[in-house]
Structure 1
Amino acid sequence: MLYSSLAVLASFLVSQAAAHGGVTSYVIGGTNYVGWSPYNSPTGQTSIERPYSTYDPILSPTASTISCNNNGQAGPNQLSATVPAGTSITAKWTQWTHAQGPVMVYMTKCSGSCTSNNSNNLQWSGVWGTGEVQKSLQYTTTIPAALAAGEYLIRHELLALHQANTPQFYPECTQLTITGGGGKTPSGSYLVKFPGAYSMSDPGVNINIYTAEAANTFTYTVPGPAVWNGQ
């Protein structure tokens, strides 16, 4: 898991939605939070998840929407979940069709109120796991108990590698207010920005998993920074 700023026409839309996926809810400390509904009208929607408009992939690691699958801004009725440090968080998908690729989870500490922060301006720090998501439609991680209290974004990203040398990025973000914790924050080599964290030359991004070389390779380099362990 990567942590940061400290330290992933109607008929046309239906067919596109059926092909991919996005985070649609969260379970945090046993409480269920409804996520954003990208194919419903944004009017009246309230969620801890930041708005996004489609289940379609982002095809460039340098796209302006790579941070949170939106324009970087909070929603007009943005909420945040209050969570003690050390709590587990489960992101849930209603559909996911690709089994090849990593799941990446990042966090970033906001400057002041998260709602006023553009996710493209923050620094982020964060398992070959898309097959797990395909089977269970969920992925669970734990917020480090040592993390300093404050307002954060958490970012879940699926990187689908089923098309040779054509990576597909699926990131979504949600807002958290972390309480308690050990007052620690990652820095230095654990920090990245989106866009900027990945490039097409990264071995974990520009990869053809169907080659003979790939069949005889037993390690995969997940793109992004080193993982902060809370120390």
Structure 2
Amino acid sequence: MKLLAGLSFLTIAATQVAAHYRFTSLIANGVNTGAYVNVRQNTNYNSPVTDVTSTDFTCNAGGRTAGSTTTATAAAGSTIGFALDQAIYHPGVINVYMAKAPSTAASFDGSGNVWFKVYQLSAVTDGGSTIKFPSDNISQVTFKIPSTLPAGEYLVRIEHIALHSASTYPGAQFYISCAQVKVTGGGSRTPSPLVAFPGYYTGKEPGITINIYYPIVSAAQVYTPFALTLVFLFAHSQLPMFSQDPSICNQTIHMPSPSAEEYLHTMLENMTSHLKDP
């Protein structure tokens, strides 16, 4: 009996580990550049980060330094992305942020209020009776670099927030990777708002501590700085959407220059490209 119990425990543990995944490769110029060539190697195998206050929350465990990671080159306005070592297994949402390095991406640890969002793949709800997660079972994520982004070297941070056991904190699982990219071309518009990782999330936001099974959340219950705009724009296409990116709900959208409109446009374009996929 003890042997059977032990085997059952090992089976469950192995299943849980197998259900984990990593964003291991950068996709640039239409090419998968290879595992941990342009993506910083993490040191916690495929385990998620659950503490939003940890320095591991920047670029995963071991990801605040470049190690042997090299920097890829991609043009502003071009499509880049991340490939996983296996398909996403848990229900959740994806957010992608970028941060401009003061000098080189390789020497940048990503600290401070430097991150701006360029992409999100959110949950889809009909208003309270069903909820779907478009990130389920995908093995790569692609998005566009804003065309007016200033040239320079950047860290590109992707996170998948797995919400299958997020009814209490810390329950949400963050699968995080950072790539190093040198952006060429572009313009001179400055992205805004800028946030810090760690620092942006408290762990108590409704997009982190949430029961996705019951009751089904509606579009009005969870949102991000951009989500109210997104819901309005998609209302006429009968695609009521909300983001479960756990941004603070009372945060204001800051638009000090036309640049913010450009980044919002790029993010909308990135989202609609996925919504059109079968």
The number of residue pairs the alignment matches comes to 207
Paired position in structure 2 for 1:181 = 186
User: What corresponds to 1:93 in structure 2?
Assistant: 84
The structure with the greater share of residues assigned to helix is 2
Q: 1:71 to 1:52 in 2, by over 3 A?
A: closer
| Greater C-alpha Rg | 2
Gaps of 5+ in 1: 1-10, 37-46
**Alignment-mate amino acid for residue 262 of structure 2:** G
Residue type of the alignment partner of 1:167: A
Looking at structure 2, the residues matched to 97 and 125 of structure 1 have their Cα atoms a distance apart, in angstroms, of 24
Moved over 4 A (4+): 11-17, 225-229
What corresponds to 1:65 in structure 2? Answer: 56
Relative to the length of structure 2, the TM-score reads 0.67
Q: Shift of the alpha carbon at 1:149?
A: 0.2
Q: Share of identical aligned residues, percent?
A: 32
What code does the residue aligned with 1:49 have?
V
2-structure distance, mates of 1:206, 1:116: 34
The residue aligned with 1:230 is 262
* Change over 3 Å in CA distance of 1:176–1:207 after alignment to 2: same
Q: Is the 8 A contact 1:58 1:66 kept in 2?
A: yes
CA distance 1:151–1:95, shift in 2 (3 Å)? same
CA deviation string 1:155-180 (max 9, x = no partner) = 11000010022111111000000000
2:173 to 168, 176, 179: 168
Higher relative contact order (CA 8 A, sep 6+): 1
Deviations along 1:60-84, whole A, 9 cap, x unmatched? 1112200100345333322000111
Check whether the contact 1:157–1:170 (CA below 8 A) recurs between aligned residues. Answer: yes
Tell me the TM-score normalised to structure 1 length: 0.80
Please tell me the root mean square deviation across aligned C-alpha atoms, in Å: 2.6
Mind listing any 5+ residue stretches in structure 2 that lack a counterpart?
Answer: 1-10, 124-131, 224-244, 255-259, 264-278
Whether the 8 Å CA contact 1:148–1:182 is kept in 2: the answer is: yes
Q: Residue 218 of structure 1 aligns to which amino acid in structure 2?
A: A
CA deviations 1:71-110 (Å, max 9, x no partner) are 4533332200011100111211122454422100000000
